[in-house]
Every structure is written in structure tokens, then in C-alpha cells.
Amino acid sequence: MAAQPQQEAVNIATLGPQQLNVLREQLSQEVDDLADSHATLGRLALRSSSAARAVETLGESKKDQAVLLPLTQSLYVKGKVADTERVMVNIGTDYYVEMTIEKAADYCRRRTTFLQQQQQGVQKAAQERQKALNQVTNVLQQKIRALQSSQPSSSGGVS
């Protein structure tokens, strides 16, 4: 296992407004990236779950049964079920493995579970980063208010 770099805790109250602004932008970008990852994992989990149901449905089919095969989301061709016991499964990066219906359905269910667990981990990380972002934003706003109140008023009393 690779050693992870040590992260030092920094007291954000000691940072200047410019440093806080840079940190706020970094945290904001991290939150956005984590939100994108969360959404992507959710879509992948949904696809995997759908694939498990499709494989199970195929297992209930009869040989030479007529089916519509999707070429795209809106384009289908007619076909016939040639084999109700084995399917080809894309296991990633366009590597295909022939599996029995039962093994393919089990693979898809395990993949769905894994993706959902990863999604939960990303969600937790995003919540932690959002909390840190909120803290940095609050400290930055306090420092800006303090700077504004310490500057003399520029509204001279000339009438």
C-alpha cells in the first residue's frame, strides 16, 4: 500500500484574506468535482442494476424467442434469442467475458453494490469538503468585515 502524504492541519484564522480566498476556490472546485463523481457513480450503479434485471429476464426467455435489440436509446432491430444460458459481459474497458446467466446476474449485482458503496464514500467526502468550505467562507467574511470596520470612513463631512 502506498504511503499517503501527511496533511498538516492549518488554523484558517491565521490565514490572510487572499490565502483564504485561494483556499475557498480550491475547496469549491473539490466540492464540484466530488458532486460530478457522485452523479457518475449513481448513473453507473443504475446501469449495472438495469443490466442485472435484463440478464435475469433473458434467463426466462425461450430459445428463438423474438426480441428487440437496442442499437441506440431510440433505435432497435428485431432479433431472436440464440442462447438462454450464456451471455457476454463487458467487465470494463471493453473487455468481454462469457458467463452463465446466473454468474452474469451475480456479477452485475455485486458491481451495483460496489458502485453504491463508492458513491456513499464520495458523498461523505463531499459533505466534509462542503463543511470546510463553509468554515473558510465564514472566516473570510469575518476578516473582510474586520478590515472594512478598521478603515476610516471615506464620507468626509463636507457640505
Helix (H, G, I), strand (E, B) or coil at 103: helix
Residue 156 belongs to a domain: no
Residue 8 belongs to a domain: no
DSSP labels, 134-145: HHHHHHHHHHHH
Residue 153 belongs to a domain: no
Residue 108 belongs to a domain: yes
d(CA 87, CA 48) in angstroms, rounded, equals 15
Mean pLDDT per 10-residue segment, the chain (159 residues): 61 90 96 98 96 91 90 94 92 94 96 98 97 95 89 59
CATH classification at residue 118:
1.10.287.370
pLDDT of res. 77: 96
Residue 107 belongs to a domain: yes
pLDDT of res. 153: 62
Residue 1 belongs to a domain: no
C-alpha dihedral (78, 79, 85, 86), degrees to nearest 10:
-90
pLDDT of res. 6: 59
Question: Domain tally for the chain?
Answer: 1
Q: What is the DSSP letter of 94?
A: T
pLDDT of res. 150: 84
Q: How many residues does the chain have?
A: 159
pLDDT of res. 13: 87
pLDDT of res. 4: 54
**Model pLDDT for residues 82-114, shown as the tens digit of each residue:** 888 999 999 989 899 999 999 999 999 999 999
Report how far apart, in Å, the C-alpha atoms of 50 and of each of 43, 46, 59, 93 are: 11, 6, 14, 19
Cell of 36: 460530478
Beta bridge partner(s), residue 67: 79
pLDDT of res. 10: 77
